[in-house]
Homo-oligomer: A and B are copies of this chain.
Amino acid sequence: MSELNPSKVESEARRDSSGEALPIETAPSTNGHQLAADLHLREVVQGQRPGERYVRIVRPQLGRLRRVEPGHLVATERTLEGRSLTSRAWNRIRYALFGPPLSTAALPHERLSKIKALAVFASDALSSSAYATEEILLVLVAAGSLALQWTVPIAVAIAALLGIVAVSYRQTIRAYPQGGGSYIVTKDNLGTIPSLVAGASLLTDYVLTVAVSISAGVAAVTSAVPTLHDHRVLLAVVFIAVIMAINLRGVRESGTVFAAPTYLFLFAILAMLVAGGVRLLIGGPPPAEINAVPIEGGQALTIFLILRAFASGCAALTGTEAISDGVPAFKPPEWRNARTTLTWMAVILGVLFLGITGLAYSFHIVPAEGETVVSQVARMVFGTTPLYYYVQMATMLILVMAANTSFADFPRLSYFLARDRFLPHQFQFRGDRLAFSTGIVVLAVLASVLVVAFHAETHALIPLYAIGVFVSFTLSQASMVRRWWVRREPGWRRSMVVNGLGAVTTGIVAVVVAVTKFQLGAWIILVLIPLLICLFIGINRHYQSVRDQLTLERFNQPLTPPHSPYVVVPVDDLHRGTLQALSYARSISPSVVAVSVTDDMEAAARLRRRWDRWGGEVPLVILESPYRSLIGPLLSYLDGLQAEHGGDPITVVLPEFVPHHWWEFLLHNQSALRIKAALFTRPNTVVIDVPFHLR
């Protein structure tokens, strides 16, 4: 190559279907060989006249890569093929479970229609209507059946709260079409620490949503099939795993899968409300024989109790923020579709919740051991008919599926936090199917831990729930207030009032929830959120410190002038493996020394004799180790060498066996592995593995 006169070099595209002539991309050559960096085969061709030679650019058999332009290659799907039997088998299993990998280019098409988005984002919110009424009744009944007259006023207050929150969030979605979760909105308007409070609150609540919903769903299943009761923890974990797998398949498909249960539930409850309403209109309230006897309450009907009933009923609002978090998952125009879906959801939820509560009150229903309030209402409306079983089945399904909302939101929020360096990088990566795999798996693991720790008992988990949501509601809307105030866009006054009302209301509710449920478990969350914030800040500090350390101060600084490294080659004996390593060491530097650490001085003398006979120009140092230690003496030797060379970096070349079968690892003493581990933390040390492949 070096014989070629550069001026005679001519580029010619041969065997290139596009026919374009491409320049040669080569590394600067100083000793006679060149590196064709972007894989262009060059061919030396005899020219017309004697002595005249050309280089022809040949588009090579790139195989699994495609060349777009100079210095830009694209990997084809074939690069993903496994290179060993096990990796091929693993790929096959993975593709069967989660589907084949999707290209990043497929991303914009993975969007949700409003119908599907309602199913994906609303299942959590809607499913809470299955237990919110019961939560209110459970608190009130402690003060006797007379206290139940407070049920409807409380439900109306909660529905009004829902309305306020929904209207408030409609404004947020419009203002943040790129995704306006509390974290982002708060960060944008109130700063970092408040946004971390919102983030920590929401992450906690997402994990709780999965644990609570799955536990409630499993409880429904095991009530139907009592033999499964002993296995409910296992069952819950299996449910979580199944939902995780479906989510790892990607967002559109999970929309498809989850659409059915949401709508089944919706129609089941609507049918029940209509039938119940008709019944009330025609026949008046049915004879309330079940609860005819007035119940004596053990507690006085204090304002605190009424507030606690209200706080418990507020569980109905969990999940309302889901849509504003997930705006980018909607089909374009994202913000408009998201806002419409939010309105639908709030209206539906309000109808379901008020309807169930109204019927329950009209039928004089109180919570009973072993039967839910919804089940009692359904039984009273339909009798024990197939329609009743349909309601129960749909309720079970949506409770299990509600967890899916969190599986859409938790990974997305983790992504935002990771992008801002408050969570590890890994949460930013999209998996084979474009889902944020890390977030999905982490959520599944955390929820499973909770389920196992609380034995899949819903009652134990409920008091921890809903605080996080109201904290984030408050922060989100307070942020919007500040935003209107600062920007003063047209209509800012009206908008500020709407969001201000939302902020004040949800703020009061957050305090009420925290105070009334504090002793029952809410304190755990109030401790956890600050801890999470500390974790976020710690992670952020670390990344920031790494960034600072990596910053190039003088940007145009050239590479330090090449200076061959000092190379040490630990050897056990003189054989092909050693020679290969020594040969490599000599190819990168003239300053090479071989070191043999041994306690067997006879073997050392033999090695010295063979070394001298071999005469390979590399000096051998025998490092006698009377305590049979390998690492300590070697490190001390490197210290000495480094001290002698004024602290210059040391390079260690390790001859390493690569066995043909994994179990053959056991038969080699892994000295190389131990040396590598010891050198990893040693400053100023470069380690080179020269593998020797065994047949």
Chain A residues with CB under 8 Å of chain B are 25-31, 33-41, 60-65, 68, 71-75, 77-81, 83-84, 101-105, 424-426, 429-432, 539, 542-543, 545-546, 549-552, 555-560, 562-566, 574-577, 579, 582-584, 586-593, 597, 599, 604, 608, 613-629, 632-633, 635-637, 639-641, 643-645, 649, 657-658, 664, 666-669, 680-681, 683, 685-695
Contact = CB atoms under 8 A, between A and B. Distances in A.
Given A575-B550, A591-B33, A695-B545, A75 B614 contact: no
A535 B639 CA distance: 42
B686 A658 contact: no
Given A539-B667, A546-B694, A619-B26, A587 B565 contact: yes
Contact of A687 (B63, B64, B669, B689): B689
Contacts of A686: 584, 688-691
B691 A618 contact: no
A36 B566 CA distance: 10
A591 B34 contact: yes
A617 B558 CA distance: 9
A5 to B, nearest CB: 20
Nearest to A618: B27
A644 B575 contact: no
| In the complex, the 5 A-B pairs of residues with the closest C-beta atoms, listed nearest first | A75-B633, A588-B588, A550-B575, A79-B632, A35-B591
Contact of A640 (B65, B71, B643): B65
Max count, chain B CB within 10 A of own CB: residue among A37, A61, A635: A37
Contacts of A39: 637, 640-641, 644
Contact of A619 (B37, B551, B639, B694): B37
Contacts of A615: 556, 558
A27 B551 contact: no
A448 B424 CA distance: 42
Contacts of A593: 27, 35, 37
A90 to B, nearest CB: 13
Nearest to A635: B83
15 contacts: A27-B618, A34-B591, A35-B591, A35-B592, A39-B644, A75-B636, A425-B668, A430-B628, A542-B667, A552-B574, A559-B583, A560-B583, A565-B588, A680-B691, A686-B689
B587 A562 contact: yes
